[in-house]
Amino acid sequence: MAGGVSHDFNNLLTVILGQADLSLSETDPSDKLHKRLKFIHQAAASAKGVTRQLLAYARKQTIAPKLLNLNDSIDGMIKMLCRLIGEEVELVLKSDPDLWTINFDTTQLDQILVNLCINAKDAFAGIGKIVIETKNMTLDNPISTDQEEFLSGEYVLLSVGDDGCGMDNATMVKIFEPFFTTKPMYQGTGLGLSTVYGIIKQNNGFINIDSELGKGTTFEIYIPRHMGEADEIKAGDTTKELQ
Ligand SMILES: Nc1ncnc2c1ncn2[C@@H]1O[C@H](COP(=O)(O)OP(=O)(O)OP(=O)(O)O)[C@@H](O)[C@H]1O
Ligand SMILES: [Mg+2]
């Protein structure tokens, strides 16, 4: 997804650079306009550098799903998550000890956890609490939300909740759009949740959001249970990979 977006973005930047180049050649260097055009040219050129990095990153990402227990993956990430969110934010873990197995790429799981926890941390003015919860969930009937339909089936649920600023409806309907951000310039790219969304769709899962202005937000990620015959994970398999 990042690859696709940066590719389109790169094409647009080529147009901006080309037009800026032409206009520069048509204006006198002593002209005020010439200097402004130079700024535009420089900014577009450095934006091209960023898209090049994104494209390289997207190409490097090969996906290797494997059977794992979500609790093990979270355990392996906890230290790093605590460092990311800082000392003022409390992190509470509520794991279901009998969690079903999922077939998932560990790097993608890490990306989901990091993005959701950083967003939660950003939703606090200072002190706050983030709760990460795992549990098994059976949907007997499909559920329709505003955004999508959740198919019936067995899922492992990962929920990340915060008691931060929450969101209004106008924000909530846009949060999965690439580049949508409410953060100040240079503080958010608006790519975090669109990445999470892409990963979940790639894995046939669903995302439910519960948010209220001033009260907090909970993201619930539904990951399909692995239904193959080998429902056993070799001991230490996942933790080894994450350390
Ligand atoms: N836990 C949350 N509480 C309140 N608002 C949130 C939360 N998570 C996401 N949002 C809203 O959704 C927007 C989009 O989130 P997303 O992660 O895609 O981008 P970002 O955090 O702004 O930037 P980036 O993740 O690229 O640094 C945020 O700017 C914010 O307005
Ligand atoms: Mg984010």
Q: How far is the CA of 57 from the centre of ligand 1 (A)?
A: 21
Q: How far is the CA of 232 from the centre of ligand 2 (A)?
A: 34
User: Is 182 near ligand 1, meaning CB less than 6 Å away?
Assistant: yes
Round to whole Å and give the CA distance between 137 and 135.
6
- In this model, does residue 57 exceed pLDDT 70? no
- In this model, does residue 240 exceed pLDDT 70? no
pLDDT score for 61: 60
Phi, psi of 86 (to 5 degrees): 85, 170
Tokens of 38: 């130079």
Q: How far is the CA of 191 from the centre of ligand 1 (A)?
A: 9
Burial class for 83, CB neighbours closer than 10 Å (0-12, 13-18, 19+): exposed
Rg (CA), the chain: 21
User: Is 119 near ligand 1, meaning CB less than 6 Å away?
Assistant: yes
Strand partners, 135: 157
User: Is 217 near ligand 1, meaning CB less than 6 Å away?
Assistant: yes
Round to whole Å and give the CA distance between 39 and 134.
49
Q: How far is the CA of 135 from the centre of ligand 1 (A)?
A: 24
Mean pLDDT of the chain: 87
pLDDT score for 132: 98
Instruction: State what percent of residues in the chain have pLDDT above 90.
Output: 59
If one compares 60 and 22, the residue with the highest pLDDT of the two is: 22
- In this model, does residue 173 exceed pLDDT 80? yes
If one compares 190 and 95, the residue with the highest pLDDT of the two is: 95
If one compares 239 and 193, the residue with the highest pLDDT of the two is: 193
What CATH homologous superfamily does 66-242 map to? Histidine kinase-like ATPase, C-terminal domain (3.30.565.10)
pLDDT score for 3: 65
Best CA proximity match to 236, nearest among 128, 77, 123, 76: 76
- In this model, does residue 63 exceed pLDDT 90? no
Instruction: State what percent of residues in the chain have pLDDT above 70.
Output: 89
Phi, psi of 20 (to 5 degrees): -65, -40
Site to substitute for ligand 1 among 131, 165, 187, 193, most atoms within 8 A of C-beta: 193
Average pLDDT over residues 92-117: 94
- In this model, does residue 239 exceed pLDDT 50? no
User: Is 171 near ligand 1, meaning CB less than 6 Å away?
Assistant: yes
The answer to whether 89 and 127 are in contact (CB under 8 A) is yes
Instruction: Looking at the CA of residue 182, tell me the nearest atom of ligand 1.
Output: 29
pLDDT score for 37: 95
The tens digit of pLDDT for each residue in 185-232 reads 777 888 899 989 989 998 999 999 999 999 999 999 999 999 876 545
- Type of residue found at 181: T
Pairs from 15-19 (Cβ < 8 Å, separation ≥ 24)? 16/40, 16/44, 17/41, 17/44, 17/45, 17/48
- Cα separation of the two ends of the chain: 27
Tokens of 69: 């227990």
Q: How far is the CA of 34 from the centre of ligand 2 (A)?
A: 37
Site to substitute for ligand 1 among 116, 130, 181, most atoms within 8 A of C-beta: 181
